[in-house]
Amino acid sequence: MPEWLIDILITLTKIVIVEGVILTAVAYSVYAERRVSAFTQNRIGPNRVGPAGLLQPLVDVVKLLMKEDIVPAKANRLVHALAPGISILVALSTFAVIPFGDKILLAGREIKLQIADVNIGILYILALVSLGVYGVTLSGWSSNSKYSLLGGLRSSAQMISYELSMGLAVLGVILINGSFELDTIVQNQFGWKWNIILQPIGFLTFLVSAFAETNRTPFDLPEAEQELVGGYHTEYSSMKFAMFFLAEYANVIVASSVITTLYLGGWQFPYLQTFGLPDMLVSILQVLAFCGKVFLMVLFFIWVRWTIPRFRYDQLMNLGWKAMLPLALANLVLTAIILTLFKT
């Protein structure tokens, strides 16, 4: 077989495995959300289908597949179908540049545990995150319903406001590492040199912006149930609705992975190299470390959702423009000054 064909086959294998894991993780984060919310509210939650309700996500997918696909008569049919597509496309492809492990040697071949090792990884993520706003806005507009329109409008204004502080917070990490490559950034966080220690303000800003970007509580105004029914996906049913649902949780997982990669050391497992374990086991443990960190972040997202009440819209905008943006700018200036002072 020619060399390029092998490369493509390896890439395809990685894509199938990674996307499979993400889709499964999405299904089970929905389950986790329902169980955690039930636990928080002193209920039981889904526990009937399979052991401890573990088959519930599968049943939900089948149910949604068998539902009638309703397109409102006044809706713009093409855009109405396009919007969930954009949402899920963005949510599923952002993970491509995230490294989930170190290089491994398999059959004499060095394989990077990362789908695409591009040198502009961070820019790719930021670009796709800003594309995500189209799915929400277009669904809000095309449904031709007041709730959807308001949800879409709120969401677009919110997402672009917090995108600024997100981009500025990332700049701190770039300043320290001098690279857009996520692999380099993870390599530099060897041991306990995690960026959360070097960039505490940046981490905080990024975390808050990530909550706003994924439309999660306390920033879930686009679908504030009490005032907007379902928000931008009020007029969606069956699989199109499921696509928005999937995209929301995929975004939570991707946001957790990005936070892990940028600030929590990615796949780095402190002191692992000192034990003298075989290389393969070290690699596996590193992948597991990455998964564990992402899992804890997802759990944190869910925990926050069921603990903190929703912001009012003016509070949300004030926080974004008058607190997060100056804070991110201050973090950037501070990082640059400290870097200059310590330069020899």
Considering only residues 25 through 64, tell me which ones interact with other proteins, judged by CB under 8 A: 64
Please name the helix (run of DSSP H) or strand (run of DSSP E) that holds residue 306, with its range, or none: none
Residue 242, Ramachandran bin (φ over 0: left; ψ between -120 and 50: alpha; else beta) = alpha
Nearer to other proteins, 170 or 289 (CB): 170
User: Which range touches other proteins (CB under 8 A), out of 142-150, 209-217, 256-264, 301-309?
Assistant: 142-150
Nearest residue to 313 via CA among 221, 218, 201, 192: 221
Query: Which residues 6+ apart lie within 8 Å of 186 measured at CB?
Result: 99, 261, 265, 266, 267, 268
Rounded to the nearest 5°, which phi and psi values hold at 303? -60, -45
User: Residue 69, interface with other proteins (CB under 8 A)?
Assistant: yes
Closest CB to other proteins among residues 37, 238: 238
CB 220 within 8 A of CB 310: yes
Candidates 8-16, 192-200, 213-221, 291-299: pick the segment binding other proteins (CB under 8 A): 8-16
- Restricting to residues 97-136, which ones interact with other proteins according to CB under 8 A? 97, 115-119, 123-124
Give the one residue of 102, 235, 249, 254 binding other proteins; rule: CB under 8 A.
Answer: 235
255 binds other proteins (CB under 8 A): no
Q: Restricting to residues 297-336, name those near other proteins by CB under 8 A.
A: 313-314, 317-318, 321-322, 325-326, 329, 332-333, 336
The H-assigned helical ranges of 41-145 are: 56-65, 77-93, 121-142
Minimum Å distance from CB 272 to other proteins?
27
| Binding status of residue 252 toward other proteins by CB under 8 A | no
